[in-house]
Chain A
Amino acid sequence: MNQHEPNDWKKYIIVLFITSTIFVAGLWIANYFNNKKIDQLKSIEDKISLDLMSSETQFSLLQELSCKDVSSTVLSSELNSLAEKISYSETNLGNNDSNVVSLKRYYSLLEIKDYLLMKKITERCGQKSIFILYFYKNDKCDDCTKQGYVLTSLKEKYPDLRVYSFDYNLDLSAIRAMTSIYKVPDNLPAIVINGKVYSGFQTIEEIEKTFPQLETIKVPEVPKSKTGATSTKVKTTAPTTTQSAN
């Protein structure tokens, strides 16, 4: 009478098998969607690259290109939304995910190309654009997070301000070339405005004070919705952050 029911080992094993299957399925579904997202990012990058090349070619071909036509080729909003997506993927897949790293490299190159092209256009057409190159790192840099907020906020205020952000530690020769040209120190965050480097955290007021010419590109206060259309928010998620913007 004092006997337990015999242990049903077979059931323990079957349940383990079913549970593992469910787990693998869960991981597989997640992986499937993540790959879809990576593919989407790759195709956006390809499209931007194509558009940039086309603008460059146009620019070289037609020396007398009217400035009005050029500005319509500017890809800022696309680069911005790409930045948000890469930043999101970075938080979800991790900084070291090989797909994320390669997307970031490609993105950084696109930024540099856009920067160079825009600089030429600005010079030629006498536009009042101001460029900020922003160098940050993801690890142990609270000030970088804050600097990201500041730059996002500045961009909302001055839609013609062009912010290009670069991960200082990203293994990319083009970024290293830029850091050596502008002599960017490793005391991050660092920003380069119109060729001059400022390292350490800069508040909105400091930047505005240093660059009174920002006032000249300030957007009129009233049409708020229009501001939203031209400038996209820089997505910043502490502590692992890609402060990226255009």
Chain B
Amino acid sequence: MDSLYTVIFYVFSFISVYVQIFFLVTFFDKRRHIKWSPNNIELSSYPTITIAVPVYNEESTIIKTVESLLALDYPKDKLKIFIVDDGSKDNTWNVVQEFKDNPNIVLLQKENGGKHTAINLALEKSDSEFFGCLDSDSFVHNQTLKRIMRYFENDPRNMAVIPSVLSHDPKNIIQNAQKVEYDMGVYIKKMLGLIGGIQVTPGPLSTFRKKVFDDLGPYKKAHNTEDQEIALRMQEHGYKIDYCPDAYVYTNTPNSIIKLYRQRLRWIYGFIKNLVDYRHLLFRKKYGTVALFTLPTGLISILGIVFVFFTLIYNFIKFTYIKIIQIQTIGFNNFFSLNYKFDWFFINTRAMLFLSIILYILVIVSVMIGRKMSTGKANFSLSIIYFSIIYSVIAPFWMLRAIYNSLISKESSWTFERRVTPNN
């Protein structure tokens, strides 16, 4: 039992170290290619673009989202904003009437059909050369669109460009922990972008050449993670997806454990189901990095977190069991005995410990590089500690539930998330 555990531990930690080193090597290899935008970019041309904002019960955030889009530094005659109300039950439709006379904004209302149907409606009505989609809980930086469009201008092979999604104004521990994850995401996604390994074009303002949808068809329901499916479909057809680290989009992150749990359950469930749908990509070298690296390691990291979780539970039960036996046998005599003398001999020097420390350092390095890339400063903060605690204790629950749900095919929907959390 112990030796089986050791073998599994070594396999997981080897792969985890491999993944981190892979990103670091990519970073040192490609860092010259990470281009930062100058302050006042002028593009040689400004193509037309439609940004769809699908909304469901978001009366409280939608105005701010749309206002941030209106403030974008981009020629107004080239930018169309489609607000699609996916049958909201709250006051959203009335709230957005404020924009009905704005020439840049088109208001659309439809029966509730899920996020992908809302975006597809906008897609149908759009005749722009480019198409973007912005979740209604996110806000854009005013230079973001120009910076994204510069990526398209500089590399005609880019078929989609995804921005840096950052956590908007994190307040509590849960949000600060997520901020660490988003910061690390900036680095990880940029690295994946440089080597063709991006597996998701997230809701906050991923931008596509319209040709992508003309060639490959509209969004699909895709287990309520249409943003993962479209990225995999693009990878399947060899359409390049790049990442623009200084195109900032700020998103409201879930502010409680239960909301975070629901969001992640949907993401991980979607990841697993989409992975199953696109399993023909796995390990096929013609599909590149996404097939050889991103998808396999994504799956392994889910299993790894579950493994760590069971290890914690096993150790906890074992400890409790020993204590119970001890109490049953000799009462509370030695229960609180504190006559331990410090001796370096009893410091754990197992290889597992050293490997865990190395892995932990590598993760911290990733967070620092991500921070450096997104904000220019690589400062260490306590939130890295919350991050590791929250993610190792709570993440396994959504991972396990997602695995369970995918086995029985139980979906967690976009509207479900919003029904319970109408303001987010």
Interface of A toward B, CB cutoff 8 Å: 1-8, 11-12, 14-16, 18-19, 22-23, 26-27, 29-31, 33-34, 37, 40, 81, 85, 88, 92, 94, 142, 145-146, 149-150, 152-153, 156, 203-204, 228, 233, 237-238
Contacts and interface: CB of A to CB of B under 8 A. Distances in A.
B345 A85 contact: yes
A233 B343 CA distance: 14
B330 A233 contact: no
B18 interface: yes
Give the most central of B17, B156, B330, B333: most A CB within 10 Å.
Answer: B330
Contacts of B22: 11-12, 15
Contacts of B358: 22, 26
A18 B23 CA distance: 12
Contacts of B345: 37, 40, 85, 88
B334 A2 contact: no
Interface residues of B, number: 47
Given A7-B288, A11-B22, A237-B322, A33 B349 contact: yes
A81 B346 CA distance: 11
A192 to B, nearest CB: 20
B237 to A, nearest CB: 6
B416 interface: no
A26 B355 contact: yes
A145 B325 contact: yes
B354 A4 contact: no
B238 interface: yes
Nearest to B239: A2
Interface in B4-25: 10, 14, 17-18, 21-22, 25
A23 B11 CA distance: 11
A85 to B, nearest CB: 6
Contact of A16 (B18, B157, B325, B354): B18
Interface string B324-344: 011011100110010100010
Describe A's contact surface by its main secondary structure: helix
B325 A146 contact: yes
A22 B17 contact: yes
- Residue in A4, A27, A152 whose Cβ sees the most chain B Cβ within 10 Å: A4
Contacts of A238: 321-322, 325
Task: Please give me the 4 A-B residue pairs with the lowest Cβ-Cβ distance, nearest first.
Answer: A4-B288, A33-B349, A30-B351, A2-B238
Given A29-B354, A30-B351, 18 more contacts: A12-B292, A15-B18, A15-B25, A18-B25, A22-B21, A22-B358, A30-B349, A30-B350, A30-B354, A37-B349, A81-B343, A88-B346, A152-B334, A153-B330, A156-B333, A228-B339, A233-B339, A238-B322
20 contacts: A2-B238, A3-B238, A4-B286, A4-B287, A7-B289, A15-B18, A19-B18, A26-B358, A29-B354, A30-B354, A33-B349, A88-B345, A88-B346, A145-B325, A146-B329, A149-B330, A153-B333, A204-B330, A233-B334, A238-B325
Nearest to B353: A30
A117 B328 CA distance: 36
A149 B325 contact: yes
B42 interface: no
B400 interface: no
Contact of B17 (A23, A29, A37, A88): A23
Nearest to B215: A2
Contacts of A7: 285, 288-289, 292
B237 A2 contact: yes
B14 A34 contact: no
Contacts of A31: 351
Nearest to A24: B351
Given A2-B239, A8-B195, A149 B329 contact: yes
Given A15-B22, A30-B349, A33-B349, A153 B286 contact: no
A82 B237 CA distance: 66
A92 B339 CA distance: 22
A26 B351 contact: yes
A88 to B, nearest CB: 6
Nearest to B328: A146
Contacts of B94: none
B375 to A, nearest CB: 28
A41 B289 CA distance: 51
A67 to B, nearest CB: 29
Contacts of B156: 1
B214 interface: no
B196 interface: yes
A44 to B, nearest CB: 10
B44 interface: no
Contacts of A11: 22, 25-26, 29
A189 to B, nearest CB: 12
A37 B344 CA distance: 9
Contacts of A149: 325-326, 329-330, 334
